Amino acid sequence: MSPSLSSFQRFEARFYSATASWLYDRVVVSFGFRLLAGRLHSKVLAQGTGAVQAAGHRPILDLPVGTAFFTLRWGRGGFVVGADIAAGMVEEAKSRADGRGAEWLSTAQADVQHLPFRDRSFGAIMCTNGLQVMPPLPLALAELGRVLDHAGSLFVCMITFPVGALLPLSLSKHLPTIFKSHRQVLAELRSEGWKVTARDRSRLALLFEACRT
Ligand SMILES: C[S@@+](CC[C@H](N)C(=O)[O-])C[C@H]1O[C@@H](n2cnc3c(N)ncnc32)[C@H](O)[C@@H]1O
């Protein structure tokens, strides 16, 4: 595990690993994400198909891959690398890919802050229900931007609990991403040099596509 992780992130990785094979899909994907994302839950699959088309013949990074619940439904037709910091998630994703003969999906354990991929390796990046639990946006976006082709697109669906909208900017800018409003998230993207080309919202979820300016 990366030495730069906070103790909370280590706990988080262990939690996801421990729940990957028996609890995660039922509680997080099928119940929590569906409840909090409303109609965007099913739009993730269309977004994944868009990522496959946008990538063309180039590989797609799916980070975090989780159990590959969504990936195995949108990724056929592409060449996808599913990465996640939680070893248990990576094992679960690999076992499901092997079980379904999904040779187009390979897996890797990786922290978004130090991705083991060369610059511009990917034609598209899918980031489903993950950016909010990762390290601060500028750090995550810098590394995602490094491994994304200059002409590539980033596809995100994320949930936030926007308590930051109730606080002055001087305080809210220090909150973890999960507590930022959609407006704050989009403003941070712009200030980190990304242009949002499409977006949608439902309940607590924000879905968007972005490319570098
Ligand atoms: C809510 S799950 C989403 C997984 C999957 N995309 C899905 O929709 O089912 C969040 C995932 O983010 C991963 N994660 C958290 N911090 C990370 C980091 N620093 N680098 C890579 N993955 C991370 C967790 O291990 C967990 O699998």
Question: What domain range is 134 assigned to?
Answer: 7-212
Residue 84 counted as domain residue = yes
Domain membership flag for residue 185: yes
Whole-number Cα distances in Å, 55 to 27, 80, 121, 135, 209: 31, 10, 11, 26, 13
Mutate to test the pocket of ligand 1, among 40, 133, 143 (most ligand atoms within 8 A of CB): 133
2 in a structural domain: no
Distance 213 CA to ligand 1 centre (A): 26
Asked whether residue 68 is assigned to any structural domain, the reply reads: yes
The answer to whether position 1 is within a domain reads: no
Q: Distance of CA 205 to CAs 24, 44, 56, 94, Å?
A: 19, 11, 27, 27
Q: Write out pLDDT tens, residues 30-71.
A: 999 999 999 999 999 999 999 999 999 999 999 999 999 999
Which residues line the pocket of ligand 1, CB cutoff 6 A? 9, 12-13, 16, 28-29, 64, 66, 69-70, 84-86, 89, 111-112, 128-130, 133-135
pLDDT digits (tens, 9 = 90+) for 70-100: 999 999 999 999 999 999 999 999 999 999 9
Residue 11 maps to which CATH number? 3.40.50.150
Residue 1: per-residue pLDDT: 61
Pocket-testing residue among 27, 84, 112, 128, ligand 1, by greatest number of atoms within 8 A of Cβ: 84
pLDDT of 155 > 80? The answer is: yes
What does the pLDDT read at residue 2?
64
What predicted TM-score, i.e. pTM, was given to this entire model? 0.97
Count of domains in the chain?
1
User: Is 45 within a domain?
Assistant: yes
- DSSP 3-state helix, strand, coil percentages of the chain (rounded to 5)? 45, 25, 30
